[in-house]
Amino acid sequence: MTSPLLSIQDLTITAQLAGETRTLIDHVSLDLAQGEILGLVGESGSGKSMICRSLVQLLPSRAIKISGGAVMFEGRDLTTLDEATMSTIRGSEIGMIFQNPTSHLDPVMRVGDQIAEGIRYHQGASRAEAKKAAIQILQQVGLPDPTRQHDNYAHEFSGGMRQRVMIGVALSCNPKILIADEPTTALDVTVQAQILRLLLDIRDQRGLSIILITHDLGIVAQTCDSIAVLRGGKLLEHGPKRSLLAAPKDPYTIDLIASHPSMPAPGGDAPEEKPQAAPPIRTPSAPLLEIDDLVVRFPASGNGLFSGTGKFVTAVNGASLQVMHGDTIGIVGESGSGKSTLARAILGLTPLTSGHVTFDGIDLALHRAKALAHLRRETAMVFQDPYNALNPRLTVGDMLAEVLKVQNKTTGDKLQSRINELLDLVGLERAFAGRKPSTMSGGQCQRAGIARALAVDPRLIVADECVAALDVTIQAQIIDLFRDLKQKMNLTLIFIAHDLAIVRNLCERVVVMHRGTIVEQGRSDEIFANPGHPYTAALISAIPDINPDKRLARLDQVLQAEQVVFSMGDEFPATINKITTRELSL
């Protein structure tokens, strides 16, 4: 039997905190073979990144140390090496791709020079030789004009292009092992598919071994050879992906698999889903919300109020949509597609350039003051980041009381009773009324945010990427919560996401946006079964499925599908990308 390239043996990592020794990684053993892709799966805090950082002795604090075990690599125990020796191994033998490339690329250094720096340091190449090699690497990772883009800075690239540069930096020293720490978490599904396909192609070309850290089983099912499931610093299961996905043994692994919003294969059987509530009985009345030829524009970069250039970015371009009472509508598309701008325009948070938004018979364009007052009483929003959306100085109870008082929803003697009712509705214990966001998990904070939205007794809730920052098991809980609330309260829900699998499981109708335009809309089951637009088909094909027999979409197929109508989203001019992203996140 061939010896493993890397062998983690009984690894234990501890931290000294307030005079107490806490075990962060508890006797973990793993092997990585030559050319193997190993997926480390688990929720936030499970120890995935901690294990990988320990391989190259980049632990996040001096209070954290390796207290036991060994990491054997080519006959050497990496845990025993001094810093000088480890500095020759980092990059040249073991490379690392980080989750947020913006934070790990030097903003004042040209991207080509950042790649060439490692080549010169580890291989002793001349400046000219390093530049030539850097251009070749930029071409290998998929940049369309590597010679010109060698001299660009990171801020001039989109998120997907920056991640490609980050991969190029990791590959610059021709490592034998590549650690990819959540490399696609912040990316859209089509860009995610491109990055994953790129990693597979590089593995095949170079014979790399890859450790892929993720919380998405769909990604590991289609890219990895083996899977290791971690929770609380302990290794729960480890084995070939097919056997582990087909017959998981640990209850947590079973829960992870059950929580994944898998997409059905074309012509195949759909995965088992939780039964959806019957659609509410709807009278043939006017729509609750009607959007007619809506246009929203922002000044382009460098064009301020007094610049006089008159250049604008069109974030929403001629959108028309009807939302009936009790509808559940999913709005999907990549970052910068206009989803959040459309939502903000609906709620009166972003000025309309032209067109009409009519809520409950009141036109926002014609009667703005009256419409805004009505919207404040009848609508609410749930935001993407559960921590930043809550006031850190207020307890959950104080936050809910503030909304109830401002909206005149309840009197003083009934205030606490109503707070308890709201906590019950979102599945939080009543003791959470006395807790602040800093003492709560992401899922608990998001439940508190939903309770705050419910405090106004809304008829319409807009949920803007409200599960994007959560682990897959927590995502499933929040989706179930929305489904239950919709049934109990006959809510109308607009659910914004770039994850089509989640939208398919929750929403009756789906609206697909690209570059501010609605390119397709209709019943979810019909659109997912037979997408009528090439861009919709590209989005669906790019979603990783938990079924390992469904192949990840090839990079050229994804690009071709997008370029049928639109130029490649990843090559969208950086100045426009920056404007739309900033405006959508306001």
> pLDDT tens, 207-252?
899 999 987 888 888 899 999 999 999 999 999 999 999 999 999 9
For residue 168, which amino acid is it? G
User: What integer pLDDT is reported at residue 300 of this predicted model?
Assistant: 64
In the prediction, which pLDDT does 505 show?
Answer: 86
Which region among 286-290, 417-421, 473-477 has the lowest average model confidence (pLDDT)? 473-477
Q: Quick check: helix, strand or coil at residue 242? A: helix
Of the listed ranges 38-52, 149-163, 230-244, 252-266, the least confidently predicted one is 252-266
pLDDT category, 566, cuts 50, 70, 90?
Answer: very low
Banded model confidence at residue 552, pLDDT cuts 50, 70, 90: low
User: Which of the 8 DSSP states describes residue 570?
Assistant: G
CA–CA separation, 447 and 435 (whole Å)? 13
Give the tens place of pLDDT for each residue, 412-471. 788 999 999 999 999 999 999 999 998 888 888 999 999 999 999 999 999 988 887 777
Q: What secondary structure letter does DSSP report for 537? A: H
Q: What share of the chain is helix, strand, coil (3-state, %, to 5)?
A: 40, 25, 35
Tell me: pLDDT of 139 over 50. yes
What superfamily would CATH give domain 289-584?
A: P-loop containing nucleotide triphosphate hydrolases (3.40.50.300)
Query: How many residues are listed for the chain in this entry?
Result: 586
Taking the model in full, what pTM does it have?
A: 0.74
CA-based nearest residue to 518, from 224, 316, 363, 269: 316
Query: Would the pLDDT of 263 be above 70?
Result: no
Question: To the nearest whole percent, how much of the chain has pLDDT over 70?
Answer: 87
pLDDT of 12 reads 96
Rounded to whole angstroms, how far apart are CA atoms 146 and 441?
A: 43
CB 50 within 8 A of CB 36: no
Task: Count CB neighbours of 415 within 10 A.
Answer: 16
Which helix (H) or strand (E) segment holds residue 136: the answer is: helix 127-140
Angle CA 98–99–101, to nearest 5: 70
Q: Please determine, for residue 74, whether its predicted confidence score (pLDDT) is greater than 60.
A: yes
Burial per residue of 29-54, b for 16 or more beta-carbon CB atoms within 10 angstroms, e otherwise: ebbbbeebbbbbbbbeebbbbbbbbb
Summarize the confidence of residues 123-137 as an average pLDDT.
Answer: 89
- Residue 357: the pLDDT is 94
CB burial of residue 269 (10 Å; 0-12, 13-18, 19+): exposed
Question: Strands (DSSP E) along 328-410, which ranges?
Answer: 328-332, 354-359, 362-363, 379-382
Spatial separation of the C-alpha atoms in residues 159 and 105, rounded to whole Å: 12
- Number of Cβ within 10 Å of residue 129's Cβ equals 14
Q: Mean pLDDT, to the nearest integer, of 358-384?
A: 91
| Model pLDDT, residue 575 | 31
How many alpha carbons lie under 13 Å from residue 163 in its C-beta half-sphere? 24
Q: Of 144, 102, 189, 165, which Cα lies nearest the Cα of 514?
A: 189
Contacts 24+ apart (CB under 8 A), 308-316: 313/576, 313/579, 313/580, 314/516, 315/341, 315/516, 315/580, 315/583, 315/584, 316/341, 316/342, 316/345, 316/516
**Model pLDDT, residue 44:** 79
Tens of pLDDT, residues 368-378: 999 999 999 99
Residue carrying structure tokens 């990496």: 78
Q: What is the pLDDT of residue 330?
A: 94
Amino acid in position 566: F
Query: Which of 297, 79, 313, 333 minimizes the C-alpha distance to 188?
Result: 333
Q: Domain locations in the chain?
A: 289-584
Greater confidence (295 vs 45) lies with 295
Q: What is the DSSP string of 359-374?
A: ETTEETTTSHHHHHHH
Residue 368 CB coordination number (10 Å): 14
pLDDT of 271 higher than 70 = no
